[in-house]
Structure 1
Amino acid sequence: MPLTFRKSFRILPGVRLNINRKSWSLTTGGRGGPRRTHSSTGRRTTSMDLPGPFGWRRTTSAGKRPKRR
């Protein structure tokens, strides 16, 4: 079983700092509206919870860092 590390801090209402082993990200937004996440790896995600078992997500990558092999 691999070891994982993930921690999330609430900075301001509606703003979270998420830290894991390889990167960090900043999430804004929340309940009832869209959430936007900007990662240190260049990935940008917009997501929104919809009523019922549905959800919507759109991810774009800026390619700031090369992929590790």
Structure 2
Amino acid sequence: MPLTFRKSFQILPGVRLNINRRSWSVTTGGRHGPKHTTSSTGRRTTSMDLPGPFGWRRTTRRRR
């Protein structure tokens, strides 16, 4: 079983710093409405919870 590391810190209300073994990311947004995540690897994700068991997510990668 591989060891994993993941830690999340709240910097300001609505802003979180997420750290794992390979990268870090910053997430903005609250419980209601869209969340925007930008990763150190170039991945950008926008997600939103919808009513019921539904959710929406869009991920893009930075071109090299």
* TM-score when normalising by structure 2: 0.96
Residues 1:26 and 2:26 aligned together: yes
Between the aligned partners of 2:23 and 2:29, the Cα distance in structure 1 is 20
Secondary structure (helix, strand or coil) at the match of 1:16 reads strand
Between the aligned partners of 2:37 and 2:52, the Cα distance in structure 1 is 23
% identity of equivalent residues = 83
Secondary structure (helix, strand or coil) at the match of 1:26 reads strand
Between the aligned partners of 2:63 and 2:4, the Cα distance in structure 1 is 24
Between the aligned partners of 1:43 and 1:63, the Cα distance in structure 2 is 10
Amino acid corresponding to residue 34 of structure 1 in structure 2: P
- RMSD over aligned Cα, in angstroms? 0.9
Name the CA shift for 1:18/1:29 in 2 (closer, same or farther; >3 Å): same
Q: Which runs of 5+ in 2 are unaligned?
A: none
* TM-score when normalising by structure 1: 0.90
**How far off is 1:63 after superposition?**
3.9
